Amino acid sequence: MKYALLLVLFIAAGCSSSRMIDSYKPTLNETPELKKILVIGITSNHEARKSFEDKLQQAFKKKNIMAVQSYEFFDPLFTIYQKSEWELEQLKLILKENNYDAVLISKINRVENRITAKHAYKNFNREFHSFKDDYLSNQDIFYGDNSEQSYKVFHTETGLYHLTTKGNGELVWRGAINLHNPKNLQSTVHSYVKLLLSQLKKEDLIP
């Protein structure tokens, strides 16, 4: 997918914000104790991936949870080509052999272009009956700053998977977060990670 990540073309400032859109926690026999997590930001933007994984690693550390960034765990060539089911099964075995409890994967599913209500109304009201009506209705474009009348919304999804004895990793939580009008990398990553950790705590998955 063109916009694959974590979290990640994480770029927001000014009026930008991170919003929890949906949170799902399946019924579990018991809440897993998380001590060591592999954090994966899926994106072709290497700077965004590193910033996100570093910030999340620091946040988990404050919770006494060891988190390892995927860019340090994986071989540099690991993400260049697609993996087979067999390769991913081998990866799971390596993680379990190294005492990992879980894997957290964050990505951007899609990017949506939006416009403000004022701009949308002007685009809708195109049937002017004279030059004068058209000009009078739109002349403020000459003087106004239209840069904030259109903006992007990044629809992200994060999944937390527990590495059980059997199976490929049991889903323990999935959440959808929207990033509105992202522009600055560091502020967006900070906002995203703060909201993500807050929700994981609310779901009683971390202290």
Hey, how many other C-beta atoms are within 10 angstroms of the C-beta on 137?
12
Instruction: Average the pLDDT over each of 83-92, 111-120, 172-181, 194-203 and give the range with the smallest value.
Output: 111-120
Q: Which amino acid is at 205?
A: L
> Tens digits of per-residue pLDDT, 75-89?
877 777 777 888 888
Instruction: Write the pLDDT tens digit of every residue in 2-49.
Output: 333 333 333 333 345 788 999 999 988 778 889 999 998 887 778 888
Q: How confident is the model at residue 187 (pLDDT cuts 50, 70, 90)?
A: confident
Measured in degrees and rounded to the nearest 5, phi and psi for residue 164 equal -80, 170
According to the model, what pLDDT value does residue 125 have? 52
Q: Is the dihedral of CA 188, 194, 198, 204 positive or negative?
A: positive
Q: Domain residues of the chain, as ranges?
A: 17-116+149-202
So what's the pLDDT on residue 34? 92
Q: Are 136 and 206 in contact (CB under 8 A)?
A: no
Task: For residue 146, give every residue at least 6 positions away whose Cβ sits within 8 Å of its Cβ, in sequence order, or none.
Answer: 119
| CA–centroid distance for 42 within its chain | 9
Q: What is the CATH number of domain 17-116+149-202?
A: 3.40.50.10610
Q: Provide the pLDDT for residue 181.
A: 75
Residue 17 makes CB contacts below 8 A (sequence gap 6+) with 179, 180, 181, 191
Beta-bridge mates of residue 88: none
Percent with pLDDT over 90 in the chain: 31
- DSSP notation for the chain: -TT--TT-S----TT-EEEEEEEE----SSPPPPSEEEEEEE-S-HHHHHHHHHHHHHHHHHTT-EEEEHHHHS-TTTTTSPPPHHHHHHHHHHHHHTT--EEEEEEEEEEEEEE-HHHHHHHH----SSHHHHHHHHTHHHHS--TTSEEEEEEEEEEEEE--SSSS-EEEEEEEEEEES---HHHHHHHHHHHHHHHHHHTTS--
Question: CA 185: distance to chain centroid?
Answer: 12
Q: Which residue has the higher pLDDT, 188 or 8?
A: 188
